Chain A
Amino acid sequence: MANYSLVVIGCSWGGFHSLREIFNVLPGDFAVPIVVAQHRLAQGPDGLHTSLQSASRIPIADVMDKEPLLGGAIYLAPSDYHTIVEGKYLALSTEEVVQFARPSIDVLFESAANSYGNTLIAVILTGANEDGAEGLRRVKELGGYTIVQDPKSAIRREMPEAALAKVRPDRVLTIEQIGPHLVELCSSKVGGDDGRP
């Protein structure tokens, strides 16, 4: 059984509601850091983190460059930057948009996979484009644990469907099942069974 060190979540259209549902069930002492890339408006403060915070016991903040990754925190990719995992730190970049997006889910997932390999959990949620599918493929390739929201339960099904077309994930779950499953995966530090063959 792997000891998981990082959770990354990618979402677009409808992501706000889905994230709230997940955060709502996570305990305040959830020990594994979570990084979220949610496509958001390019300009100005959109209050995303304050609105998400009201559903979460874990503190949420926009990523600052070279911020250390710590347990018990949710990091939100800021608008108009790519968020990149650099080992135990987060870094930002203003490179060109990828898949029409900045933040790009692919960029976050690929960098997280390169740093965390089989101790990474990656989750693709609702969205109306194909960002994240390539990143999830890389996560899987490097032994990470992959979860895709069941397209039938997603507000927009394009993003999870694109991911499923590229990757056979470890789990396909409804939005209600994802939070509890993350708790299960991350709380059992020793022994236990993550259900993988």
Chain B
Amino acid sequence: MRTEDLEQLEIDLLLEGVYRRYGYDFRQYARGSLRRRIYKRVLDERVASISSLQERVLRDPQAMERLVLELSINVTAMFRDPTFYLALRTKVVPLLRTYPFIRVWNAGCSTGEEVYSLAMLLQEEGLYDRTRIYATDINERVLQRAEEGVFPLDKMRGYTENYIKAGGRKAFSEYYKAGPRGATFKRDLIENVVFAQHNLVSDRSFNEFNVIMCRNVMIYFDKALQNHVHDLFHRSLINFGVLTLGRKESIKFTSHENCYEAIDGLERIYKKVK
């Protein structure tokens, strides 16, 4: 057996074991990125192989927690892709104004950068008071961090630039207080946010939404799982509801291509039409 095939087998067994022991299903995650992250655990746990990592993870729930964290953290930034937020402001906000109540699902919210960005935008547009944002992630630890709302101070310069390019109307620094732990964001930004654990692989739809935001989350899934999640989103959106994806994710290569029309094709903002 070639080394690559042996490694594939070890990864298969690890994922199967994790699924049967803990119920977390990473079996349909894209393998390239998964492999890198698993090797990072092998290194940090100081074990000799993926098989040894499997033994530890199955017997030690804390090692499992560290693995979940490694596999599920997705690095993002406030107002990542400023032009996307600008398009939200100019093309989606007018649509949202027509609804008396707005439900937004930020699926795979990770440490919350998008939630806070969205909350600022909706506050400035005067829509926040009639909005509820459901921010979900598979990982409870990152949800706690998102709820705390403390972000590294050294990121603020970049975020401020993004905020300005995204059409922000205030001084970005009005939204946070700098302290020894970092930049603590104002609590009223998450007044209408519900943080909840939700697993896109195995959990069902839990509401009907006007907007679903899921950017750079499905890139970690294989095509079959992507289609499964698209099905979930499609069933969770109201008619003419808005789906937004990451800048390099297209609805084009998915099973639900024909269910959406582009509101802004370049920014991957789509409207459900059937």
Contacts and interface: CB of A to CB of B under 8 A. Distances in A.
A178 B87 CA distance: 43
A91 B32 contact: yes
Contact of A66 (B75, B76, B223): B223
Given A93-B219, A94-B216, A114 B32 contact: yes
B66 to A, nearest CB: 16
Per DSSP, chain B at the interface is: helix
Among A64, A68, A94, A114, find the residue whose CB has the most chain B CB atoms closer than 10 A: A94
Interface string A70-83: 00000000101110
Given A91-B219, A95-B37, A142-B4, A65 B32 contact: no
A114 B4 contact: yes
Interface string B237-259: 00000000011111011000000
A96 interface: yes
Contact of B253 (A66, A85, A107, A117): A66
A94 B2 CA distance: 30
B36 interface: yes
Given A86-B31, A86-B32, A92-B248, A64 B216 contact: no
Contacts of A110: 36
A115 B4 CA distance: 9
A114 B35 contact: yes
A63 interface: yes
Interface residues of A, number: 30
Contacts of B226: 66
A46 interface: no
Interface of B: 2-4, 30-33, 35-37, 74-76, 80, 82-83, 216, 218-220, 222-223, 226, 246-250, 252-253
Interface of A: 43-44, 62-68, 78, 80-82, 84-86, 89, 91-96, 107, 110-111, 114-115, 117, 142
